[in-house]
Amino acid sequence: MSINNRGRRQFVTGLTAGCMLSGLPLTARAQAKSQSYQSPQELRGPHINLDIDMMPVNFTGQDQLATVVNQSVPAPTLRFKEGQRVSIKVNNHLKVDSSIHWHGIILPTNMDGVPGLSFDGIKPGQSYHYEFDLKQNGTYWYHSHSGFQEQTGLFGALIIDPAEPEPFAYDRDYVVQLSDWSEESPTHVYANLKKLSHYYNFQERTAGDLWRDIKNKGLVQTWRDREMWNEMRMSDRDISDVTGYTYTYLMNGNTPDMAWRCLFNKGEKIRLRVINASAMSIFDFRIPGLKMTVVASDGQYIQPVTVDEFRIGVAETYDVIVEPDGEAYTLFAQTIDRSGYARGVLAQNTSLMPEVPKMDPPPILTHRDMGMDHSMQNMGDMKGMDHSMQNMGDMKGMDHSKHNMGDMKGMDHSKHNMGDMKGMDHSKHNMSDMKGMHHGMKSKEVAGPYGKAGFGGKAPIKHHKTEYGPQVDALAMMPMSGLNDPGIGLRDHQEKYGRKVLTYADIFNLTPTEDKREPTREIQLHLTGNMSRYMWSFDGVAYKDADPIRLKYGERVRITLVNDTMMTHPIHLHGLWSELETHDPNYIPKKHTILVQPGSKISYLVTADSKGRWAYHCHLLYHMMGMFREVEVV
């Protein structure tokens, strides 16, 4: 963070003399400001009443209105039992429509809580009665699917205790819920992003960075790199849309200076249920001095894997077991762009306050994050080239070693001067003549063979004609697999710090794969956008203009996500499990949210076993309006 940012809002120290005490009613909260931290209230099923309202809260020394549930931010933690039929009455006391979506819960479509798809929403002054059977256990959460209410406080943890004994032992069980809070209204934040996409980014390049690059790369290569980024009108520091400049990062509703605390006795095993309930913030979570054994991912048991650190995308959950042998430890969740952190304390008593580690250096985007082949990294001579065309690997006859642009079969060279490429705008190109270019297949379905279940698709990357235009500013022509990639800013942590970082390739289901059928078709979806215009979409088509993705009830399909952008996107499919292909068909892990790295691809299998209309979207709140699809199972 820049000096100006620190001066404006000291979010790390919090300015939280009037911190909101979660779970307390307004009158009690006013009398209890001397308390340093508080956990959300816990409600146990099967019959629960939830009241949605507006209420002033104070996280940073300034009163702001929040969307609260039972007068609490975060909303109360709901605790149920696997096998129960739960009944939840939600009363809307707001002046606008509201809703609650039960994230990761498999239930009937009319209980899913998405206005316009599953139901009409909850009108002001009215109630909605959610009722469904719990056929799963684990760590989940719930949040509003109406407007920006999730950003203003309408989110909470949802824990389902198992009907059978769990496959691991622990002595204490804590929910660790991460979130982001802004003094600005979400509509104002979104308006700022639309006017200037990097409005909240204060980690731009400096003269010191330039001098370091010259020393490391030489003047010529540094000039070429800078020229390329400038021609693309993008920044290699564009990691997060919304940053610590406006956000205060919370752990169970507590600011970093208040440091939410959980206790242990020496020799105990502690289970931490980590939930990323933020609107826009991806976190890297670790406990300095403690190994973490990850035992569940998105509520599902996995084969235990011991790590020092893991990245948790918006809406993901991880359960870990730790065995502390010291007195006190810091629960440290730094944001992906290193503009801030949430903090908690795991200690033998509440008076202990361990040291807060320094944040890691801010990450820098590279050619890898553009989905480029390494042989194409020297792009300095391509003046004004739109970076959607950087990797021409699918064009027949291209000499990658020499970058001979004249050998692209089928391309009308009379219309395109490839030697200089000044001001190239791919929205004007006649793309139909490019060999191998894929057009017109419904739902972006790719041709077989589809590859063995569990190993991922083998189909080449094909960009649909809707991806060419001003609404898309980048195409990843040769994206790498995201399975073994811990993510930008984490790739050197094993070598640099000795910290083992979790990757998706480490995750295997604890029990054997239930549906071992091969996929009968594959759908390739591209995550697309134009960062400077702040436009987001699938396949270059915004939700309002898109047809539903239709699945036949009972079929087994593969979905391959290709991230054409240089941002990390958490993609959530409602109502159906996303079974991540980690190259072991016998133990395919189930997830409800998949984190897709910049310029990468990843695939998962879906069994269409629940009829209805389901939402499918990026879980970054300000991306969701465009990067959204309806999935219809008929």
Domain check: are 152 and 19 in the same one?
yes
Q: Is the pLDDT of residue 130 over 70?
A: yes
Which DSSP letter does residue 494 get?
A: H
- Tokens encoding 613: 């209309």
- The domain that holds 63 is classified in CATH as 2.60.40.420
> Lowest mean pLDDT: which of 160-169, 356-365, 447-456, 615-624?
447-456
Q: Count CB neighbours of 195 within 10 A.
A: 9
pLDDT at 45: 84
Give 485-526 pLDDT, tens digit per residue: 999 999 999 999 999 999 999 999 999 999 999 999 999 999
H or E stretch covering 6: helix 3-8
Determine the average pLDDT of the residues in 327-351.
Answer: 96
pLDDT at 302: 98
Domain check: are 30 and 100 in the same one?
yes
Q: Is the pLDDT of residue 435 over 50?
A: no
> Lowest mean pLDDT: which of 29-33, 545-549, 604-608, 623-627?
29-33
d(CA 334, CA 487): 14
Residues 6+ apart with CB under 8 A from 358: none
- CA–centroid distance for 453 within its chain: 25
Length of the chain: 634
Q: Is the pLDDT of residue 223 over 90?
A: no
d(CA 70, CA 472): 42
Give the structural domain span for 515.
Answer: 465-633
Q: Is the pLDDT of residue 398 over 60?
A: no
Q: Give SS3 for 190.
A: helix
Domain check: are 79 and 215 in the same one?
no
Domain check: are 128 and 57 in the same one?
yes
Token pair 């079969």 is found at 409
Rounded to a whole number of angstroms, the distance between the first and last alpha carbons of the chain is 49
Residue 554 contacts residue 584 (beta carbons within 8 Å): no
Determine the average pLDDT of the residues in 46-52.
Answer: 97
Q: Does residue 138 belong to any structural domain of this protein?
A: yes
Residue 359 contacts residue 267 (beta carbons within 8 Å): no
Q: Does residue 544 belong to any structural domain of this protein?
A: yes
Domain check: are 77 and 18 in the same one?
yes
Domain check: are 483 and 387 in the same one?
no
Domain check: are 430 and 470 in the same one?
no
Q: Does residue 312 belong to any structural domain of this protein?
A: no
- Whole-model pTM? 0.83
Determine the average pLDDT of the residues in 228-241.
Answer: 66
- Tokens encoding 273: 């249920």
Domain check: are 507 and 620 in the same one?
yes
Q: Is the pLDDT of residue 15 over 50?
A: no
Domain check: are 31 and 71 in the same one?
yes
Q: pLDDT band for 372, please (50, 70, 90 cuts).
A: low
Q: Does residue 441 belong to any structural domain of this protein?
A: no
Q: Does residue 254 belong to any structural domain of this protein?
A: no
Domain total of the chain: 3
Q: What is the DSSP string of 372-387?
A: --GGG---TTSTT--G
Q: Does residue 313 belong to any structural domain of this protein?
A: no
Determine the average pLDDT of the residues in 416-440.
Answer: 35
Q: pLDDT band for 79, please (50, 70, 90 cuts).
A: very high
Q: Which of 435, 450, 474 is the last residue of a domain?
A: 435
User: Any bridge partners for residue 67, and if so which?
Assistant: 54
Q: Is the pLDDT of residue 409 over 60?
A: no
Q: Which alpha helices (DSSP H) does 196-321 contain, by range?
A: 207-217, 219-232
d(CA 449, CA 452): 9
Q: Does residue 230 belong to any structural domain of this protein?
A: yes
Share of the chain above pLDDT 90, in %: 70
Domain check: are 506 and 606 in the same one?
yes
Residues 6+ apart with CB under 8 A from 194: 534
Give 288-326 pLDDT, tens digit per residue: 999 999 999 999 999 999 999 999 999 999 999 999 999
Helix axes 219-232, 207-217, angle to 10 degrees: 130
Mean pLDDT, rounded, of the chain: 83
pLDDT at 217: 66
Q: Which of 414, 435, 456 is the last residue of a domain?
A: 435
437 or 590: whose pLDDT is higher?
590
d(CA 558, CA 522): 5
Domain check: are 501 and 389 in the same one?
no
d(CA 390, CA 410): 18
Q: Does residue 297 belong to any structural domain of this protein?
A: no
Burial track 10-31 (b if 16+ CB lie within 10 A, e otherwise): ebbebbbebbbbbbbeeeebee
Q: Which of 144, 169, 194 is the last residue of a domain?
A: 169
Q: Is the pLDDT of residue 452 over 70?
A: yes
Determine the average pLDDT of the residues in 105-128.
Answer: 97
d(CA 465, CA 62): 49
Domain check: are 378 and 470 in the same one?
no
